């Protein structure tokens, strides 16, 4: 994948995550604020002040996630973002992290 293709895909991914969190906030009692600056999406949980940071790393062609549970790297494999350590899918992992930090069970997807 070229850098241009990666940047477009990363932007699409960050937008899908943000849109999914907005839907979740509207559908349940998740009190979350999202702010985006370039390739960085900051997800703040209003009730407890914790954050999850999602950003793209163009040189590595990876998406990185920093959450209370740790730091995670995701690489594109067969059309999905997969954790480089355990192969879990990005949206599945983010759903778990948001549920843990936000205290409300949610399920994120790729915007489908």
Q: What is the pLDDT of residues 33-71, one digit of tens each?
A: 999 999 999 999 998 999 999 999 999 999 999 999 999
Residue ranges of domains in the chain? 3-102
Q: Hey, CA dihedral for 29, 105, 42, 40, is it positive or negative? A: negative
Mean pLDDT of the region 80-97? 97
Enter the CATH code of domain 3-102.
3.30.920.10
Report the pLDDT value the prediction gives residue 24, as an integer from 0 to 100. 85
CA 22 to chain centre: 13
Determine the Cα–Cα distance for residues 71 and 28; give it in Å rounded to an integer.
27
pLDDT tens sequence across 4-33: 999 999 999 999 999 999 988 888 888 899
48 CB contacts (<8 Å, ≥6 apart)?
Answer: 101, 103
Report the pLDDT value the prediction gives residue 28, as an integer from 0 to 100. 85
Say yes or no to pLDDT of 111 above 70: no
């Amino acid at each position: 994948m070229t850098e241009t293709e990666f940047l477009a895909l990363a932007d699409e991914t960050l937008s899908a995550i943000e849109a999914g969190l907005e839907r979740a906030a509207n559908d349940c009692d998740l009190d979350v604020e999202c702010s985006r600056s370039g390739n960085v999406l900051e997800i703040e949980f209003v009730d407890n002040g914790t954050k999850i940071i999602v950003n793209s790393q163009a040189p590595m062609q990876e998406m990185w996630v920093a959450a209370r549970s740790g730091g995670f790297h995701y690489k594109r494999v067969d059309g999905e973002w997969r954790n480089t350590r355990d192969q879990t899918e990005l949206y599945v992992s983010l759903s778990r992290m948001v549920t843990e930090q936000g205290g409300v069970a949610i399920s994120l997807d790729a915007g489908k």
